Structure 1
């Protein structure tokens, strides 16, 4: 035990993204990506709760959905209504820029599937990294109908970086459908 890190931390519980239309995002993640909807709720607190707890305008409201993506990832989606809301998505190069990477068995087949989905934009063709710490990684980015960027990735076990460290990245087994309803 090194004494570093958050005491008692056992796992990442979820990642969260703010979306412009919660219904559209839930439909996209469940119907196109294959997530399962766990629950929805509305956060409409009185007083300054929203400012104190979420660092947003005190009058902001939020519709929230929690989804399950495969065996280990929970995805929380927020749709805020706030008077000072910025409505421009950050680019990956902007501070706060982000993307969600989905490990797939076949990047090319997944990219082809996404190209056929209405409103989805696949950013170029899949590429394989040929040298460096993640040689063998095959990947391509895509954008949702509202512009959020995601990545398809297949980084096989045994990447070159593993020769330099004992750290291993999570390697999924089976498909998401193998884990439906699993806890």
Structure 2
């Protein structure tokens, strides 16, 4: 019945700046713009109801991006000020997405060269994700959203009670 995650939505202050960051950091490809800034903005009671927007908020630009073999990222740009800063792990709700990478050192360099900031050096994974070559690192985009880079070529030590294995993008 359910096939998997189709896309992840993210509000950004400027879609062109965000697209350039994602292009430089992760080699994204633009799928299409669902809402263009030169068109009338998405606004009003019906849009507010459909998207759970507070009264008076408008959407001026929406773009879908594709990174590798994962779900699409749908970017939203409001024509009004965002309500708060990007979510952190300590906040309720969605706060980050992770990209599986083959070379974490090179991916980290590209992330920083594109304008992102790593929160630490790449580090070993822990618990069932531990393995000699398994590692991860969190970083923030230029506008403050959290992204994780991760790799686990040595696999996961699944507990016997696991009901499913973790989905991983196919190797190219």
Q: Normalising to structure 1: TM-score of the pair?
A: 0.79
Q: What does 1:1-183 align with in structure 2 at a 5 Å threshold? A: 8-40=1-33, 41-42=35-36, 44-45=41-42, 47-62=44-59, 63-82=61-80, 85-115=82-112, 117-130=113-126, 132-136=127-131, 137-156=134-153, 158-161=155-158, 163-175=160-172
Label 1:109 to 1:164 Cα distance change in 2 as closer, same or farther (>3 A). Answer: farther
Runs (4+) off by over 6 Å: none
Q: Gaps (5+ residues) in structure 1?
A: 1-7, 176-183
Q: Which has the higher contact order (CA 8 A, sep 6+)?
A: 2
Q: Gaps (5+ residues) in structure 2?
A: none
In 2: Cα distance, 1:11 partner to 1:144 partner: 26
Task: Give the 3-state SS of the residue equivalent to 1:133 in structure 2.
Answer: helix
Q: Residues 50 and 59 of structure 1 are in contact (CA less than 8 Å); yes or no, is this contact kept in structure 2?
A: no
Deviation at 1:55, TM superposition (A): 1.2
In 2: Cα distance, 1:45 partner to 1:54 partner: 10
Q: What's 1:3 paired with? A: none
Aligned residue-pair number: 165
Label 1:114 to 1:135 Cα distance change in 2 as closer, same or farther (>3 A). Answer: same
Deviation at 1:99, TM superposition (A): 0.9
Deviation at 1:103, TM superposition (A): 0.4
Q: Residues 140 and 152 of structure 1 are in contact (CA less than 8 Å); yes or no, is this contact kept in structure 2?
A: yes
Label 1:158 to 1:97 Cα distance change in 2 as closer, same or farther (>3 A). Answer: closer
Q: Residues 133 and 161 of structure 1 are in contact (CA less than 8 Å); yes or no, is this contact kept in structure 2?
A: yes
